[in-house]
Amino acid sequence: MAAILYESINSGDEKLDVGLDWHDEPEIIYFKNGHYKLMLNLKEYEITDECFCIVNAGVIRKLESLDDKGVEYSIKVDLNELCFKKETDPVNESLLYPLKDGTIKFSEFITVSDFGFLQILRSFNDMVRRYREFGTKGTTDTVSVRKYELSSVSDQLMVKADLLHIIALIESFGMVQDKEDLDAEKQVRAIKDSINYIRDHYKEKLYIRHLSELTGLNEQYFIRFFGSVTGVSPLDYINRYRVEQASRLLRDTDTHVYEIAEDCGFHNIGNFIKIFRSVTGETPHKFRKQFGKED
């Protein structure tokens, strides 16, 4: 699948707010201007100057704009798509495979004072121009974010070349390093394991003590730790995730509301309506009407 470029331009209507998540591919983020709060594997950073951030594969990230103005671009890099056909190719063996396997990683930040920043920026801007001039512009669930996709084979080939060139520049300027095993990795794993469990079992009854046992943490400590990372309690996260799944079903299917509630882990319709309204600001019936659907 061809890479998608995301462009975020803050407006008075909505600011960029990317919830906690992680991906199997590295992600290149270019902060052109603005003020942002970024979390990478439980570490928080304040972004006020132009820079690149490379979110390595598997790294938990959360991003929030703190300013009414700001422009940001991001693109995920599918290393499988960039690997050369010959497995013993030296680029595969020395760089792309180790990056894919996580034995080495990109430097997290490339700033204007780093050697190579201007060369990387020039190549990245060429790629952005290609998307903006020849790509198909689409909307997302966030008003301030739009996406660009390229359909022609020649444009997709050019983007692959652009990404390989950017990776080559990053490597040539010494911005690839061995991955370190830190104690923080255990905490990151605890968050990932608990969130994955919630996503896999949200239709069932969930108990906080089961989540704490899964991570090997004391229940009270787990509740505080989870809240400090995600910004919400485990119970609130469970409810919000269930509402997110219910919203998708309300929008895309004609399934009755009470069936959707039960399918998303709410076994009491009154409780479902109450929690749905507390999260979205409206009832399930009113939410569904926006999409021309009736119960």
Instruction: Tell me if 111 is assigned to some domain.
Output: yes
Give residue for tokens 């409810």.
Answer: 239
The CA distance from 55 to 71, in Å, is 18
Instruction: Tell me if 294 is assigned to some domain.
Output: no
Residue 170 contacts residue 131 (beta carbons within 8 Å): no
Span 34-93, pLDDT tens digits: 999 999 998 999 999 999 999 999 999 999 999 888 999 999 999 999 999 888 899 999
Task: Dig out the tokens for 5 from the structure.
Answer: 């470029």
Q: Give the total number of structural domains in the chain.
A: 2
User: Apex CA 279: angle with CA 273 and CA 282, to 5°?
Assistant: 55
For residues 205-218, average pLDDT: 91
Boundaries of domain holding 223: 184-289
Residue 133 contacts residue 158 (beta carbons within 8 Å): no
The CA distance from 190 to 196, in Å, is 10
**Claim to verify: residue 33 and residue 115 sit in the same structural domain:** yes
Name which residue leads in pLDDT, 170 or 139.
170
Dihedral of the alpha carbons of 161, 166, 171, 173, in degrees to the nearest 10: 140
Beta strand pairing status for 61-76 and 27-40?
antiparallel
**Claim to verify: residue 11 and residue 78 sit in the same structural domain:** yes
Give the pLDDT band of residue 29 (cuts 50, 70, 90).
very high
Query: Lowest-pLDDT range, 100-114, 176-190, 193-207?
Result: 176-190
Residue 74 contacts residue 27 (beta carbons within 8 Å): yes
pLDDT at 168 over 60: yes
Counting residues of the chain whose pLDDT is more than 70, the rounded percentage is 97
Element (H, E) at 119: helix 117-134
Q: For the chain, how big is the Rg over CA atoms in Å?
A: 21
Domain end residue (candidates: 145, 162, 178) = 178
**Claim to verify: residue 139 and residue 26 sit in the same structural domain:** yes
The CATH number for 255's domain is: 1.10.10.60
Task: Dig out the tokens for 171 from the structure.
Answer: 């490597």
Instruction: Tell me if 295 is assigned to some domain.
Output: no
Which of 127, 79, 86, 73 is closest to 100 using CA atoms?
A: 79
Instruction: Tell me if 249 is assigned to some domain.
Output: yes
Q: Which pLDDT value is given to residue 15? A: 84
**Claim to verify: residue 145 and residue 204 sit in the same structural domain:** no
Residue 239 contacts residue 274 (beta carbons within 8 Å): no
Q: Which pLDDT value is given to residue 68? A: 86
pTM of the model: 0.84
Q: Which pLDDT value is given to residue 183? A: 60
Give the pLDDT band of residue 1 (cuts 50, 70, 90).
low
**Claim to verify: residue 210 and residue 174 sit in the same structural domain:** no
Domain end residue (candidates: 158, 178, 198) = 178
The CA distance from 161 to 199, in Å, is 36
For residues 197-223, average pLDDT: 93
Q: Which pLDDT value is given to residue 27? A: 97
Residue 100 contacts residue 57 (beta carbons within 8 Å): yes
Instruction: Tell me if 225 is assigned to some domain.
Output: yes
Instruction: Tell me if 255 is assigned to some domain.
Output: yes
Q: Which pLDDT value is given to residue 293? A: 66
Domain end residue (candidates: 127, 160, 178) = 178
**Claim to verify: residue 81 and residue 134 sit in the same structural domain:** yes
3-state secondary structure of 148: strand
User: Apex CA 53: angle with CA 151 and CA 2, to 5°?
Assistant: 15
Task: Dig out the tokens for 153 from the structure.
Answer: 């084979």
The CA distance from 173 to 50, in Å, is 19
